[in-house]
Amino acid sequence: MERLEALLVPLTDRHRSALEWFIQHVGTDQPWPRPLPSGTLLASKAKGIYKPSWSDYALSVRQTLDGPYPDREPVVRPDGTWSYLYFQEGSDPQSRDTEYTNRGLVACLEDRVPVGVMRQIRKKPAPRYRVLGAALVAGWEEGYFFLEGFASDGRAHSRGPLAQTDALKRDRELADEKAGTSEPGGLVDARERIIASIVRRRGQPEFRRKLLEAYDGQCAITGCDAAEALEAAHIVPYLGPETNRVTNGILLRSDVHTLFDLGLLAVDTATMTTLLASSVASTSYGELADRRLQLPRDDSCRPSKMALDQHRAWTGL
């Protein structure tokens, strides 16, 4: 976990006092924020990302009602932290760095500088904004900046894809909830859906068969040899038949596969040992930290280090 107080220390007085406005007004609904007594602006009416001329870093981000970008709804967690997927300026992720505002958020990501966050809740003529507080820029992918919001005690989750997986899980839960409103088809249909989900999770049959053979029917991390509990995990997410190569796969026990896909477990390719996110390191899964992978005897079947490095970069571990 990150501590807000420590992250504010290296900042200039001007930058720190501006962020403190967002911290002091967290959870409140405000009109457009006035400049501070020093004259420092807190947000820009011209752009959703405010990157002041006096700083290399973005100072704040805001979402506008009916805006042109597909910002996602924030997710509030039981521990008081929150996450938010905020879309960059410009619709083309490949052109991210052509905009100085995006570069300001990237600088925040690289140097762990918090940003203020607010979202419009009422339009003109009397617009109002909900102040979410301060957040850490925890990652970026395909146009979205992953924001990790600080709880009231000043803690936030570190870099990584947790904000992204939060949003995707909520989307799936809402879709399942909506689907669940239809009339049930009976026990046979219900069991069919369960079995179908297990089959999908295990991976494409031929891909899984090859991994079972390559890894001698054992989980690469735990050594579990119960074939029914083993799944063919893609290192780089499945994007069609080309990603079904054995070198883009690793055989994992189902629960370990979940940790891997959620970005809570990664592999250090320098030592081919496991890395765990702090959120699970103190749980019963802590025993999986620093485990050396049990690799296939056939070198041609071993997982691609490039793919594993790409996965690790995504996890932030």
pLDDT in the model for residue 226: 96
**Sign, CA torsion 171/175/177/178:** positive
Mean pLDDT within 143-165: 93
pLDDT in the model for residue 84: 95
Greater pLDDT, 181 or 278: 278
Tokens of 188: 């046979």
pLDDT in the model for residue 186: 59
pLDDT in tens, 74-104: 999 989 999 999 999 999 999 999 999 999 9
pLDDT in the model for residue 62: 97
pLDDT in the model for residue 182: 55
Mean pLDDT within 218-228: 96
Residue 58 burial (10 A CB sphere; 0-12, 13-18, 19+):
buried
Structure confidence at residue 159 as a pLDDT band (50, 70, 90): confident
**Sign, CA torsion 96/98/100/103:** positive
Using CA atoms, how far residue 146 sits from 22, 87, 206, in Å, is 18, 9, 35
- Beta-carbon contacts of 94 under 8 Å, excluding residues fewer than 6 positions away, are none
pLDDT in the model for residue 193: 58
Residues 266 and 275: beta-carbon distance below 8 Å? yes
pLDDT in the model for residue 2: 93
* pTM (predicted TM-score): 0.78
